[in-house]
Amino acid sequence: MNLANERALAARAKALGESADIGALPELAALVASPSPLVRRLAASALGKLAGIVDSTASVDLLRPLLADAHPQVRQYAAKALGAFGPEAAPVLADLRDLYRNPAEKDYVKRSVAAAGKTIREALRIAEASAVHRCARCHRTVAADEYARAQKAFQRTYCDRCFDEVFLDRRNWETRVELNKTIRAADGTVVQSEGERIIAEELKALGIVYRYDNRFRIIKGYAIRPDFYLPEYDLYIEYWGMEGNLDYQIGMLEKRKLYQQAGKKLVSLYAREKPRLRQALREKLAVHLRIEFAQPGADAVKRPPDAKRVGR
Ligand SMILES: [Zn+2]
């Protein structure tokens, strides 16, 4: 190639880099194959400048072989240009690493290679963080923490609800049968066991506002029963309905520990107390709330004069 021709092609490569021309690829594809290292280098640089304008996959494919170019400056500019493609350049991360690890590689090439690798990895991380993930079962959009939890446990994406169901499917616990029960309490709350129905109705009878959370949770790998929460008293009620189940028992201990650590008030009721569950509930609530209740069957709640009421 004569000097004049080389200069003309170099100028053309440079101009294409400044062109913002979406149709520049075919010409640059020819220029990256030029016998002149100067032209190849400028063509690589031009591709980097056109990142976001021209087709990314095709551009990365053109740049990739230049990482193995005989001329270090071509390798350097190819690496720089690849960095500009961010996550689209992920397929060349291994090539960049090999180049960086090559003891014969020049330091200035290594610097560009390292910078490009860092940019691509960072761009991948950001793309991952902002990606919208959907539950593999119900296709609902899942939050970042749901995504992380499901990925960690199953290497799949599940929403919290499906996570619990999948978790139970895998363990095939007797718990599942219990969970699928739905029982309607007198006030319409759908609970999941006879014991919970009694608790719901007794709270209603006592005029105590409660929230019932029928979401089943896995805490630290153990199945955890739903809660009653009394917002007026910031108190939780747990009905431990499956004491005979070892997994369940461990879950129960874990959950109590969590309540303690969080400084939460917890009233525990047990399946064995079911024959006198209303009474047991009143007695335990009385201890926590310093409230005297009438005998079961009566609806009135006597509150001490200093009992704090918080808004409903
Ligand atoms: Zn789901």
Helix (H, G, I), strand (E, B) or coil at 311: coil
Joined together, the tokens standing for residue 19 give 């062109």
Is the pLDDT confidence value at 241 over 50?
yes
Averaged pLDDT of the chain: 83
Ligand 1 centroid–CA 218 distance in Å is: 15
- The Cα–Cα gap between 227 and 233 comes to 14
* Reduced DSSP (H G I as helix, E B as strand, rest coil) percent helix, strand, coil of the chain, to 5: 55, 10, 30
In a domain, 214, yes or no: yes
125 and 7 in one domain? yes
217 and 206 in one domain? yes
Ligand 1 centroid–CA 189 distance in Å is: 23
Is the pLDDT confidence value at 224 over 70?
no
118 and 39 in one domain? yes
Joined together, the tokens standing for residue 63 give 């740049």
Ligand 1 centroid–CA 148 distance in Å is: 14
Span 279-302, pLDDT tens digits = 999 999 998 877 766 655 444 454
Ligand 1 centroid–CA 140 distance in Å is: 6
Ligand 1 centroid–CA 160 distance in Å is: 7
The amino acid at 263: G
Contact (Cβ atoms closer than 8 angstroms) between residue 297 and residue 206:
no
Residue 211's φ and ψ, nearest 5 degrees, are: -115, 135
295 and 241 in one domain? yes
* Between 186 and 74, the higher pLDDT residue: 74
* Between 292 and 11, the higher pLDDT residue: 11
147 and 71 in one domain? no
Span 166-202, pLDDT tens digits = 877 666 555 555 555 677 888 887 777 788 889 999 9
Beta bridge partners of 302: 292
Ligand 1 centroid–CA 248 distance in Å is: 24
| Beta strands 190-191; 183-184: pairing state | antiparallel
Range of the domain at 147: 133-171
In a domain, 308, yes or no: no
112 and 36 in one domain? yes
Beta bridge partners of 133: 142
Ligand 1 centroid–CA 139 distance in Å is: 6
- The Cα–Cα gap between 226 and 216 comes to 6
Q: Please choose, from the candidates 20, 16, 9, the residue with its C-alpha nearest in 3D space to the C-alpha of residue 45.
A: 16
Is the pLDDT confidence value at 61 over 70?
yes
Q: Please choose, from the candidates 199, 193, 265, the residue with its C-alpha nearest in 3D space to the C-alpha of residue 236.
A: 265
Ligand 1 centroid–CA 125 distance in Å is: 24
Joined together, the tokens standing for residue 55 give 């087709």
Ligand 1 centroid–CA 164 distance in Å is: 9
* Confidence category of residue 250, pLDDT binned at 50, 70, 90: low
pLDDT exceeding 70 applies to what percent of the chain? 81
In a domain, 202, yes or no: yes
Mean pLDDT to the nearest integer, 41-67:
96
Ligand 1 centroid–CA 157 distance in Å is: 8
91 and 145 in one domain? no
Ligand 1 centroid–CA 299 distance in Å is: 41
Ligand 1 centroid–CA 227 distance in Å is: 21
Which residues contact residue 59 at a Cβ distance below 8 angstroms, ignoring those fewer than 6 apart? Answer: 25, 47, 50, 51, 81, 85
User: Given this model, what pLDDT does residue 6 score?
Assistant: 95
* Confidence category of residue 307, pLDDT binned at 50, 70, 90: very low
Task: Please count the structural domains in the chain.
Answer: 3
- The Cα–Cα gap between 249 and 254 comes to 9
User: How far is residue 14 from each of residues 8, 9, 32, 159, measured CA to CA in Å?
Assistant: 10, 9, 12, 50
Contact (Cβ atoms closer than 8 angstroms) between residue 87 and residue 93:
no
Span 107-154, pLDDT tens digits = 999 999 999 999 999 988 888 777 788 999 999 998 888 888 888 777
CATH number at residue 26: 1.25.10.10
63 and 13 in one domain? yes
- The Cα–Cα gap between 187 and 308 comes to 25
Tell me the angle at which helices 277-289 and 194-205 cross, rounded to the nearest 10 degrees. 50
